[in-house]
Chains A and B, each alone.
Chain A
Amino acid sequence: MSLTRKDVEKIAHLARLSITEQEMPVYVTSLSSIVDFVDELSRVQTDDVLPMAHPLDGQHQRLRADRVSESDQHEKYQTNAPAVQAGLYVVPRVIE
């Protein structure tokens, strides 16, 4: 069950990844071979099996008291930002 170029273009768009013209055939081939490889799973009998999202059974999301435990360090965290103005992250215009 190989993937077509159109499939890969759609996946790349969902994943917000730009793929160049030269790269495209390589990705079509390698993604197809990966999908073919994992298709083996479809032949496994799993009718009454519960999916396993967590490796340890009996785990649940731990909750904590709703009390402030962090301090405002946005200046420190924003030192890694590509573009910042007045404490805001600058991006290309979103709304026309």
Chain B
Amino acid sequence: MLHTLSIGELGRSLDSGQISSVELTRHFLGRIERLNPALNALITLTAELALAAAAAADARRAAGERGPLLGIPLIHKDIFCTDGVRTSCGSRMLDNFVAPYDATVVARLKEAGAVMLGKANMDEFAMGSSNETSYYGPVKNPWDTAKVPGGSSGGSAAATAARLAPFATGTDTGGSIRQPAALTGVTGVKPTYGRVSRYGMIAFASSLDQAGVFAQSAADAAVVLQAMAGFDPRDSTSIDAPVPDYSAALAAPLAGLKIGLLREFFDGLEARNSALIHDALKIYRNLGAQTVEVSLPHLPLSVPTYYVVAPAECSSNLSRFDGVRYGYRCEKPKDLLDLYTRSRGEGFGAEVKRRIMTGTYVLSAGYFDAYYLKAQKVRRLITDDFRAAFGKVDLLIGPTTPTPAFAIGAKINDPVTMYLNDIYTIGANLAGLPGLSLPCGFVDGLPMGLQLIGPHFSEAKLLNAAHRFQESTDWHRRSPPGYEQ
């Protein structure tokens, strides 16, 4: 079936003329029409634009052009500016905002000939771990529509899992690609900080945000990451370093690979969840890897550190939304202060306001040293722990989440309980490290993810390790019941 083929197989079908990009696009648009209403994974559908882009890709191919993403459909998280298309960031604040330019990620994938089907639903301003804070309503997990898909890139994850597109873009600030990938049974990659341009990606926490990809497999993710990664002069935090050939590196043998089991990740992990990870480790040993226990003693401080740093940066980044130049403006403001406070008070949802206020507090006079500066110091301790671990091992392994997907509504009223969902993913963001989640089994019919974390710029090794695992297992080939056809 077209929606279970890999990007490589789709490319070969397109190249051989078996199928056109227009037909392929129609196939996925049909799936979206039929299956998306139950999931609410999209905020904006761009069917007309998609068919025009598909026709253009077919014309490029007819003229002799070839490329692994030429004519391949995708969905963009609604955090990426898309020229001429609404970019809402999951918020009432930007419900009426039509982006006047393309993000670099969008431009690069467009240049490669990928066909945008629409914009994915997400937690508001990327703040959330369950896709329940979106102005456009929650996204449902295709494995069980009473459960969350994770967040903040919940729409991108659900759409990929439901095979509404071969791949989707996402962003990861505290785990927002890896966690929803784990909860929906797909492969999700967060690159090294600075590997992928943040130009045109609406900013949440500037020292943590990173764009990445959801796909059916590491092999597919490698193709997409190849097109997304690389220096961008428009992003002052973009790293000017060459991008290796991620696909060429996939098949390398794992003999001699040293994998570190993070002791802190296994403490307190429930038995059935822990068993899945240990089964995965057996597969890695069979592939020739050695596993060694390592400890990152400051890692348990990741969550409180993050919940000082990220809100602080978000309070600064979201100060631009003031009802003056774009976005939501309140009705009949009586003066400038009223314009600001009511546009922001009415335009932002509760979680966003909570984080802006947390950030404002930790940056305010008298508290800056005690909170923000302190958190930046603990951040260095956590980063140093990772550096020490990578002196002994090549990659770190552990679960992506403490449990499979939880019920919609179960945690939304208790922010701190919700924040603890990111306990395994946040460390990599604080240290700027690349991380990946791949499906490793099921608990009560719900997917669980295995997380791999590597040193800076080790995406090729991570994708290689994930690919070799996926050659020995078929978790990543499973479709949610009802979404196979």
- B415/A30 in contact, CB under 8 A: yes
Is the CB–CB distance between B361 and A11 below 8 Å? yes
Contact present for A40 and B207 (CB under 8 Å): no
Task: Bits for A33-69, please: 1 = Cβ < 8 Å to B, else 0.
Answer: 1110111111010100111111110010110100000
> Which stretch from B35-43, B116-124, B273-281, B341-349 is at the chain A interface?
B341-349
Smallest Cβ distance from A19 to chain B, in angstroms? Answer: 7
Given A41-B371, A46-B377, residue A54 in contact with residue B334 (CB < 8 A):
no
How distant is the Cα of A33 from the Cα of B87 in the complex, in angstroms?
33
Interchain CB contact (< 8 A) of A18 among B305, B319, B345: B345
Residues in A neighbouring B383, C-beta threshold 8 A? 52, 55
- Docked pose: A91 CA to B323 CA in angstroms: 9
Q: Which of B151-159, B351-359, B401-409, B477-485 contacts A (4 or more CB under 8 A)?
A: B351-359
Complex Cα distance, B377 from A50, in Å, reads 6
Query: What's the minimum C-beta distance from B11 to chain A, rounded to whole angstroms?
Result: 34
Residues on A with beta carbons closer than 8 Å to the beta carbon of B339: 91-92
CA distance A55 to B379 in the complex (A): 9
* B353 contact set on A, CB distance < 8 A: 17, 19, 27
Partner of A52, one of B322, B346, B364, B376: B376
* A interface residues, tally (CB under 8 Å): 55
Question: Is there contact, CB below 8 Å, between B377 and A52?
Answer: yes
CB nearest to A90 among chain B residues: B324
Is B266 an interface position by the 8 A CB rule?
no
Bound form: Cα–Cα A83–B374 in Å: 42
| Docked-complex contact B100 and A35, CB < 8 angstroms | no
The answer to whether A16 and B337 touch (CB under 8 A), given A33-B416, A41-B371, A52-B383, is yes
The interface size of chain B toward A, counting residues with CB under 8 Å, comes to 73
B361 near A42 with CB under 8 A, answer: no
Q: Are B329 and A33 in contact (CB under 8 A)?
A: no
Q: Which A residue sits closest to B417, measured CB to CB?
A: A33
Quick one: which of B194, B342, B364 contacts A56, CB cutoff 8 A? B194
Chain A hits for B315, CB < 8 A:
15
Using Cβ atoms and an 8 Å threshold, which residues of chain B touch A26? 350
Residue in contact with B335 in the complex, picked from A41, A50, A93, CB distance below 8 Å: A93
| A86 contacts B by Cβ under 8 Å | no
**Given A16-B337, A56-B239, A80-B97, do A46 and B374 touch, yes or no (CB 8 Å)?**
yes
List chain B residues, Cβ under 8 A from A94.
336
CA of A40 to CA of B304, assembled, Å = 7
Select B378's contact among A44, A78, A83, beta carbons within 8 Å: A44
Q: Which residues of B sit under 8 angstroms from A44, Cβ to Cβ?
A: 298, 301, 374, 377-378, 381
B415: which A residues are within 8 A, CB to CB? 30, 33-34
Interface residues of B in 288-331 (CB under 8 A from A): 298, 301, 303-305, 307-308, 315, 319, 322-327, 329
User: Which residue on A lies nearest to B318, using beta carbons?
Assistant: A15
How long is the Cα–Cα vector from A3 to B334 in the complex, in angstroms?
Answer: 30
Partner of A55, one of B193, B298, B304: B193
Identify which of B358, B364, B374, B379 contacts A34 (C-beta below 8 A): B358
- A41 to B371 Cα, complex, angstroms: 8
What is the distance, in angstroms, from A68's C-beta to the closest C-beta of chain B? 15
Residues of A within 8 A of B416 (CB): 33-34, 37
Assembled-state Cα–Cα distance A35/B375 (Å): 13
B431 contacts the other chain (Cβ, under 8 Å)?
A: yes
Additional pairs, 17, CB under 8 Å, beyond known A15-B315, A50-B380, A56-B456: A16-B322, A17-B341, A17-B356, A31-B354, A31-B357, A34-B415, A40-B304, A44-B298, A46-B374, A51-B373, A51-B380, A53-B376, A56-B192, A73-B100, A80-B97, A80-B98, A83-B329
Q: Which residues of A contact B (CB under 8 A)?
A: 3, 7-8, 11-20, 23, 26-27, 30-31, 33-35, 37-42, 44, 46, 49-56, 59, 61-62, 64, 73, 76-83, 89, 91-94
Binding site for A on B (CB under 8 A): 96-98, 100, 192-194, 207-208, 233, 236-237, 239, 298, 301, 303-305, 307-308, 315, 319, 322-327, 329, 333-342, 344-346, 348, 350, 353-354, 356-358, 360-362, 364, 370-371, 373-381, 383, 415-416, 419, 429-432, 456
Q: Which 3 A-B pairs have the closest CB atoms?
A: A55-B432, A18-B345, A51-B376
